[in-house]
Amino acid sequence: MTIGFSETAAHARKVLPFIGLVLCAALAAPPAGAQEVVFTDQANREVRLPKPADRVVSIVIPVASNLIALDGGTKKLVGMNPTAKSAVTQGILGKIFPEAKDIPSDVTSPSFVPNVEALAAVNPELVVQWGDIGEEKVAPLTNAGLTTMLILYGTEELTQGYMTMAGKAIGQNERLKALIDWRDQVRKDLAAKTASIPEDEKPRALYLQRAITDMAASGTKGNYTEWSMELAGARNAAAELVGTVSINKEQVAAWNPDVIFLNAFEAELDPSWVYKDPILSLTNAAKNHKVYKLPLGGYRWDPPSQESPLSWMWMANLLHPEVFHYDLRAEMKKAYNTLYHYDLADADIDGVLWTAQQGDAANYDQFKVRQE
Amino acid sequence: MSSVSEGLAARDGMPGGSPTWTRTTLVFAAFLALLCVSLLVSLCAGRFGVPVTRALALIWQGLTDPSAPLQAMDERIVLLVRMPRVVLAALAGGGLAVCGAALQGVFRNPLVSPDILGISQGAAFGGALAIMLGIWGFPLIAMVFVAGMAALVLVGFLARVSGRTETVTVILSGLVVSSVFAAVVSLLQFVADPETSLPAIVYWLMGSFSSATWARVLIAAPGLILGAALLWSLRFRLNVLALDEAEAKSLGARTERERWLVFALVAVIVGSQVAVSGIIGWIGIVIPHAARLLVGHDHRRMLPASILLGAAFTTIIDTLARTVTAAEIPLGVITALVGAPIFAVLLRNHYRERTGR
């Protein structure tokens, strides 16, 4: 990325002369060499780092925990979105990495408006921002001379794309390859097996991205959870919707889904919400006890994350217990060891899978500790 | 449209130019029929297929034997989902319309809507804050109502200068309070979690009856019905308040006290409505206009006409919101899309007839 005269001038006016001097010197003479990292981001901009970054800020939510997984620790994450931070500190990552609570989250508003001064204060070498959020939330970063990587959201391809960029940017190419290979391998395994399931044997599943304040379901476009559901062998009961939109209970009754997946975002939401509702409790899903809240692991399992393959396995085992026999507890232990260098205890797994809240749901016994 | 022009002649409730009472009776019969038809159609329409005859039988069962246990899905859909929703929409619509009618009289200004006192924005603040704090259900409803009331109290404090209030200071204070609360709502949206509370706040601000239940009807109905009934009991007072200040005083009106009484009733109605269904615009300004064009300025006729029309209009709008697509359409979108053109046509007819004289 080249810095034009006007940008340099603007930044020199804004930033303290000393910091400005250091940055200008660094920009003026990039040590071209084997260490240099160059890639094209998802807004088609060239991102150039003189050496792998040791200090990264994620204004976007998902990349924060991606970075922790890619690096196997929190050291390189020096700032994140407040929403990402609450997910990290409240979930199991807070237990694995207690130091994460000290990572600043004042670098951005939850709605991705960067605070350039707070950003400059943590002195990042790379800042991750959305590529479709509008120039006014990106320009302040580039104008301040910060190297910025823009990413897009929604599909597995994009997820692998930005995970790859992030992994390269921090110089963790080997870990990156392991993470991506795992995703590809599980995905292919699932796709091969679901391909042989006849369409009419795929249960019609409904994913409620919001439930308590107003109810919103995910249709066919642009929702990762919906894509995961189909990968795991479901048909989307709300396929007639485009995007994630508000719906009413009468519509759910009309769809009469075979399975209901509840989001992991709303902390107070669990399957009892469905069973207590006069309408939802009469759906096939409720009658057959097939209402499941998505787990909350290193990140929520509904949006794309480093743990997505676990989420797919969980769904596939629930949707087609006759076809899929993943040993989820073993897979989770293995994955957490790779991702976070952490040995999951059985109680940890029960917490992630909400066994206390939904242990008596249909097909959930397979996820419980085996009494041998 | 001769009744309209005669109605217009009946400005400020002067009895001389009123439409005859028999014609008024006919007009009201038509309004009532419109309301009944829209209620019935709404109860029979929905995304879940219930045959009309079955729906009508269920409605009859609900009216005659309300304690019968509801086991089947279609029974629950008609009696637990549609019926409370339709009742709530009708009550809220009637309430908003009568508020608009009363306030337009008090301020002697046809551009006034119930938003003018800052109650809606205050209530919106209460709701947005509740959603942010993860509060929902009845505590949310309580917070919304209290915040709406608080907004009116604030307006009252701001507008009272040396022991008395002018209507213009009330309007300005309402504007100030509205702006402050709107700004705080924006701030809450700015800091809201973009994956959970933000979409919930945005959706709530656009208004919806989708969460209607009988429990919510029971919470909102007392405020809506009592408020509207008390405003109706003030119909003669409103006719006097709609005159200019000196005239009203010479007729023995204690204008200031009566005005605040009207404001308080409006706050109770709007607070109850926003608490259960979010912000719903347009009804409070469009419906009183339509009513005035159809039955004249006399509040004795204008208030009940507004209630009936508001109830029917809101029921129809809400039916569209929940049936046209699988997704719920925010009410604010349809009230504006349907309300604005109707308003424009009414207004053009009104001026054409006036200039045609």
**pLDDT at B163 exceeding the cut of 80:** no
Between A12 and A95, whose confidence is greater? Answer: A95
B285-304 as b/e: b if 16+ CB within 10 A: bbbbbbbbbbbbbbbbbbbb
Between chains, do B196 and A210 touch, taking CB under 8 Å as contact? yes
Between chains, do B77 and A279 touch, taking CB under 8 Å as contact? yes
Task: Determine if residue B13 is left, alpha or beta; phi over 0 gives left, psi from -120 to 50 gives alpha, anything else beta.
Answer: left
- Chain B residue numbers with beta carbons less than 8 Å from the beta carbon of A213 are 131, 136, 197, 200, 203-204
Between chains, do B194 and A112 touch, taking CB under 8 Å as contact? yes
How much is the average pLDDT of B84-104?
96
**pLDDT at B77 exceeding the cut of 50:** yes
Q: Which residue of B has its CA nearest to A109?
A: B191
Structure tokens at B309: 């029309």
Task: Determine if residue A123 is left, alpha or beta; phi over 0 gives left, psi from -120 to 50 gives alpha, anything else beta.
Answer: left
pLDDT for B256 equals: 84
Alpha-carbon distance of A342 to A93, in angstroms, equals 10
**pLDDT at A295 exceeding the cut of 50:** yes
Taking the mean position of all CA atoms in its chain, how far away is CA A371?
33
pLDDT for A10 equals: 45
* Exposed/middle/buried for residue B63 (C-beta within 10 Å: 0-12, 13-18, 19+): exposed
Q: Rounded to a whole number, what is the distance in Å from the CA of A277 to chain B's nearest CA?
A: 11
- Chain B residue numbers with beta carbons less than 8 Å from the beta carbon of A83 are 193-195
Q: How confident is the model at residue A11 (pLDDT cuts 50, 70, 90)?
A: very low
pTM given for the model? 0.86
How much is the average pLDDT of A72-95?
92
Residue from the list A111, A238, A250 with its beta carbon closest to the beta carbon of B77? A250
Whether the Cβ atoms of residue B265 and residue B223 lie closer than 8 Å to each other: no
pLDDT above 90 covers a percentage of chain A that reads 82
**pLDDT at B16 exceeding the cut of 50:** no
pLDDT for B344 equals: 82
Task: Count A/B contacts: CB-CB distance under 8 Å.
Answer: 101
How much is the average pLDDT of A314-334?
97
Q: How confident is the model at residue A90 (pLDDT cuts 50, 70, 90)?
A: confident
How much is the average pLDDT of B309-338?
92
Task: Tell me the C-alpha to C-alpha distance, in Å, between residue A298 and each of A182, A265, A283, A302, B47.
Answer: 16, 13, 32, 12, 39
Between chains, do A265 and B200 touch, taking CB under 8 Å as contact? no
**pLDDT at B357 exceeding the cut of 80:** no
| Cα–Cα nearest to A295, from A276, A315, A277 | A315
Question: Which three-class secondary structure state does DSSP give residue B312?
Answer: helix
**pLDDT at A9 exceeding the cut of 90:** no
Whether the Cβ atoms of residue A203 and residue A259 lie closer than 8 Å to each other: yes
- Chain A residue numbers with beta carbons less than 8 Å from the beta carbon of B131 are 213
Q: How confident is the model at residue B343 (pLDDT cuts 50, 70, 90)?
A: confident
Between chains, do A253 and B193 touch, taking CB under 8 Å as contact? no
Q: Mean pLDDT over all residues of chain B?
A: 87
Between B246 and A1, whose confidence is greater? Answer: B246
Q: How confident is the model at residue B3 (pLDDT cuts 50, 70, 90)?
A: very low
Between B191 and A78, whose confidence is greater? Answer: A78
How much is the average pLDDT of A260-287?
95
**pLDDT at A82 exceeding the cut of 50:** yes
Radius of gyration of chain B from its Cα atoms, rounded to whole angstroms: 21
Between chains, do B193 and A214 touch, taking CB under 8 Å as contact? no
Q: Which residue of B has its CA nearest to A216?
A: B327
Alpha-carbon distance of B84 to B43, in angstroms, equals 10
Give all domains of chain B, ordered by start, each with its CATH number.
Answer: 2-356 (1.10.3470.10)
Structure tokens at B212: 């209607």
Tens digits of residue pLDDT in A102-117: 999 999 999 899 999 9
Between chains, do A110 and B208 touch, taking CB under 8 Å as contact? no
Between chains, do A213 and B131 touch, taking CB under 8 Å as contact? yes
The partner residues of A80 in beta bridges, in order of sequence, read A58
**pLDDT at A349 exceeding the cut of 90:** yes
Alpha-carbon distance of A302 to A320, in angstroms, equals 19
Structure tokens at B108: 């002697």
Residue A149's φ and ψ, nearest 5 degrees, are: -115, 125
Q: Rounded to a whole number, what is the distance in Å from the CA of B278 to chain A's nearest CA?
A: 11
Tens digits of residue pLDDT in B31-52: 999 999 999 999 999 999 899 9
Q: Name residue, tokens 């505590």.
A: B139
* Exposed/middle/buried for residue A310 (C-beta within 10 Å: 0-12, 13-18, 19+): buried
**pLDDT at B86 exceeding the cut of 60:** yes
pLDDT for A22 equals: 46
Between chains, do B326 and A249 touch, taking CB under 8 Å as contact? no
Give all domains of chain A, ordered by start, each with its CATH number.
Answer: 5-174 (3.40.50.1980), 182-367 (3.40.50.1980)
Alpha-carbon distance of A307 to A312, in angstroms, equals 9
Alpha-carbon distance of A352 to A340, in angstroms, equals 15
- Chain A residue numbers with beta carbons less than 8 Å from the beta carbon of B73 are 253, 279, 282
- Chain B residue numbers with beta carbons less than 8 Å from the beta carbon of A216 are 199, 203
Between chains, do A213 and B330 touch, taking CB under 8 Å as contact? no
Half-sphere CA count of A185, side-chain side, radius 13 A: 7
| Chain B residues in contact with chain A using a Cβ-Cβ cutoff of 8 Å | 46-49, 70, 73, 76-77, 80-82, 131, 134, 136, 189-200, 203-204, 208, 210-211, 322, 326-328, 330
pLDDT above 70 covers a percentage of chain A that reads 90
Alpha-carbon distance of B9 to B16, in angstroms, equals 9
Task: Tell me the C-alpha to C-alpha distance, in Å, between residue B10 and each of B1, B18, B294, B310, B357.
Answer: 15, 5, 11, 22, 15
**pLDDT at A13 exceeding the cut of 80:** no
Pairing of strands A204-210, A235-236: parallel
Which among A229-238, B188-197, B202-211 has the top mean pLDDT?
A229-238
Between chains, do B77 and A253 touch, taking CB under 8 Å as contact? yes
Between A150 and A14, whose confidence is greater? Answer: A150
Q: Cβ neighbours of residue A76 under 8 Å, at least 6 residues apart?
A: A53, A54, A55, A56, A67, A170
Task: Determine if residue A247 is left, alpha or beta; phi over 0 gives left, psi from -120 to 50 gives alpha, anything else beta.
Answer: beta
Q: Mean pLDDT over all residues of chain A?
A: 90
How much is the average pLDDT of A158-169?
96
pLDDT for A357 equals: 95
* Minimum mean pLDDT range among A20-34, A54-68, A301-315, B75-89: A20-34
Radius of gyration of chain A from its Cα atoms, rounded to whole angstroms: 22
**pLDDT at B281 exceeding the cut of 70:** yes
**pLDDT at A36 exceeding the cut of 90:** yes
Residue A129's φ and ψ, nearest 5 degrees, are: -135, 160
End-to-end Cα distance, chain A: 59
Q: How confident is the model at residue A34 (pLDDT cuts 50, 70, 90)?
A: low
